[in-house]
Chain A
Amino acid sequence: MLARSTVGRSARRALRCQCQLGTVPLGGRRGLAAPASGSFSYETGDAAGIKVASRDMAGATTTLALVAKAGTRYQSLPGLSEALEKYAFKGTEKRSALRIQREVELLGAELQSYHTRENLVIGAKFLRDDLPYFVELLSEVVTQTKFSPHYIDEELNRLMSISHKSHLANTESMALDSVHGIAFHRGLGHPLKPTTSLPYSQYISVETLSAFNDAAYSKGNFAIVANGAASGELAKWVGEYFGEAPTISYKLESGQSKYYGGEERIAHGGGNTMIIGFPGSSSLTGGFYKPEISVLAALLGGKSTIKWSPGFSLLGKAGASIPGVKAATKSAIYSDAGILYSVMSGNADGVAALAEETVKAVKAIAAGEIPKEDIAKAVALAKFKELDFGQNVQNGLELTGSGLIQQGKPYQVDDSAAAIGAVTEEQVVQAAKTLLENKASVSTVGDLFRLPFGEDLGLKV
């Protein structure tokens, strides 16, 4: 048993919850949210100068996330976002990493941290009653993380090196980084994972990391989003624990993204991936929102939503006759820009054949050769995917947080779904024409002897 003085308030709370679990039946103890809002929309508010949003969905669990505008796009040195992500929950002035881990285990919760190109997300999933504990934990991570050189040497660099190696071994993730690099150069083009050992051998130190930490977690640079918590309660606890979060010291900046386009070819022995990208759409709150891009992504598709059938999508149908290749089309949406890309992976000849089919498909759409009902199906699928995406708690949290920091408005999935639903056939055709007029971004990773150049496919690169 721990000495009494070493058991902190939070640990005692953890223990108390355990005891209750043992005696009272679960259903009787946890009251579900009284009135669920019935919509996907988040209620927003402001507590202690920090933007908070919550969606009170009925259920026994809560997902809490702190979304900071500190993804790879905003990092001041390569690798900092990833390092800060890996440093989350790894020891604060008050509690060691082990203690945090054990307390969270006692509460039966789950911690998570990840980063995307724009955001750094740290959060937790837990039982509804434990909200105060986790708000306190997040505030501790934000304001009191202890950066020590030995942790960087002993743990962080190893984790970074694993992430670096797994990135280099995966042709798809390399091609994805490469296509973003081609399309946006800097900012959104920064690689998501370390592509060399430079970040952890040269750039990451206690000083750079804590400076980035202060900038990333300063008031105005992050938002707190919860799913399954009453907004009043969340605001109350955030106000109580986040009072001492630092105000902005220096702003993490990245200029308006500009689309460039071009081609990059990387020789690789571990597989073949080809990505053909086009300028896409920003998020709904970002000012360059084009709902027809989502419809185009659904129309090009590649992955069937129905079992045992290639589906209606153009790449799905083309891929049915080319064995050993898989394709998928995605519209990656960022705050102020986006990229529409098709990924093809598999054997080299198949990828080459499918890439040709992809370009043909885009040309066919631009020429208006696609039957009306296919476009109607694509609109329906795109709308469904958008709503499904928004309903997914994880994505919803990140998008809402990111919208709140960047534009002060949360991401409202209903609005974007409505916009997608209203897309007409002419808009789709027009959008495809614009794609072909612009420079494409073609990234090829794999057996370069067999994989074609963008020029050969009939693209402008």
Chain B
Amino acid sequence: MSAPSIAPFVLKRPWLSRWMIPLANWYADLSGYRKIGLRADDLIPEETPIVQQALKRLPPKEAYDRVFRMRRAFQCSLTHQLLPKEEQTKSEDDVPYLSPLIAEIEAEIKERKDLDALIVSRK
């Protein structure tokens, strides 16, 4: 479920990241999810087996916080309101908490597929 990303490419090049990071923050802010208290990882569609598995692996506190953020965001959306400034997600809080787990599960699946397709070559 992890989308292709140019982030590693950018982060490796300081000259690029110097002007890309403020731009990315501006863009993320503009997309609005932070104003209703969500994090970027909350937006990952969860209706796939891999993400379901990753959600099961979340530590209990993280899982609770995730549900809280979603209910609050849903309420905001219903009432057509934004959260007060101090309750909105700050850019430093907007950390990936779910995508590392998803990547781990994807790696597991890929490893299994690779090993299943292993061809033993006899020299």
Contact = CB atoms under 8 A, between A and B. Distances in A.
A293 to B, nearest CB: 51
A18 B122 contact: yes
Nearest to B119: A1
Interface of A: 1-3, 6, 15, 18-19, 22-23, 96, 98-99, 102, 106, 149-150, 153-154
Most buried by A among B108, B115, B119: B115
Given A1-B117, A149-B59, A98 B122 contact: no
Contacts of A98: 108, 111-112, 115
B120 interface: yes
B111 A23 contact: no
A102 B59 CA distance: 30
A150 B56 contact: yes
Nearest to A150: B57
B123 A19 contact: yes
The majority secondary structure among interface residues of chain A is helix
A98 B56 CA distance: 21
B115 A19 contact: no
Contact of A18 (B59, B108, B117, B120): B120
Interface string B48-67: 00000000110100000000
Contact of B115 (A3, A15, A99): A99
Interface of B: 56-57, 59, 108, 111-112, 114-115, 117-123
Contacts, number: 36
A153 B114 CA distance: 26
23 contacts: A1-B119, A2-B114, A2-B115, A2-B118, A3-B114, A6-B114, A15-B120, A18-B120, A18-B122, A19-B120, A22-B122, A96-B111, A98-B108, A98-B112, A99-B115, A102-B118, A106-B120, A149-B57, A149-B59, A150-B56, A153-B56, A153-B57, A154-B56
A261 B112 CA distance: 53
A154 B101 CA distance: 15
Nearest to B58: A150
Contacts of B120: 15, 18-19, 106
Given A6-B114, A19-B121, A96-B111, 20 more contacts: A1-B118, A2-B114, A2-B115, A3-B114, A15-B120, A15-B121, A18-B122, A19-B122, A19-B123, A96-B108, A98-B108, A98-B112, A98-B115, A99-B111, A102-B115, A106-B120, A150-B56, A150-B57, A153-B56, A154-B56
A153 B108 CA distance: 17
Nearest to B105: A150
Contacts of B57: 149-150, 153
A18 B120 CA distance: 8
Contacts of B118: 1-2, 102
Contacts of A22: 122
A418 B44 CA distance: 72
Nearest to B115: A102
Contacts of B123: 19
A96 to B, nearest CB: 6
A431 to B, nearest CB: 57
A97 to B, nearest CB: 10
A102 B56 CA distance: 27
Contacts of A153: 56-57
A130 to B, nearest CB: 16
B36 to A, nearest CB: 30
A3 B115 CA distance: 11
A318 B21 CA distance: 87
Nearest to A22: B122
Contacts of B108: 96, 98
A447 B117 CA distance: 55
Nearest to B108: A96
A1 B116 CA distance: 9
Nearest to A7: B118
Nearest to B116: A102
Contacts of A1: 117-119
A263 B114 CA distance: 57
Contacts of B121: 15, 19
A33 to B, nearest CB: 28
A149 B117 CA distance: 29
